[in-house]
Amino acid sequence: MDSKSYTPGNRDILYKKIFLSISEIKYLEREIKKFSWLERTLLRKKEFSTMQYHKNKCDSNFFRFINSGQDNQNTLIHILEQLPENHPDRTWLTGFLL
């Protein structure tokens, strides 16, 4: 690893990217859950499909970002280590990554 990966500024940027990605994914999950069965299948099917497509795209972008470099993986591991074991974000993120 190069020395720039340990600079505080670089670490802050990685934290921001990770937290923004997680926030967007969680937001889309909450919005998707608001659709009723009838809306999903008949009334708002196109809107639901669009939102689901966008969430899948966010998921794959997040995985691609995390897997694009060891620094990104180390930052994510560091974030997970800082969260208490019963913290909802830790539970969610661990479940998302498994």
Look at residue 3 in the predicted model and tell me its pLDDT.
44
Q: Give per-residue pLDDT as tens, 6-65.
A: 566 777 888 888 889 989 999 999 999 999 999 999 999 999 999 999 999 999 999 899
Q: State how far the Cα of 79 lies from the Cα of 15, in Å rounded to an integer.
A: 8
pTM for the model stands at 0.76
Residue 1 pLDDT grade (very low, low, confident, very high; cuts 50, 70, 90): very low
Q: State how far the Cα of 4 lies from the Cα of 88, in Å rounded to an integer.
A: 32
Is the confidence at residue 93, as pLDDT, over 90? Answer: no
* Six-digit token string for 9: 């500024």
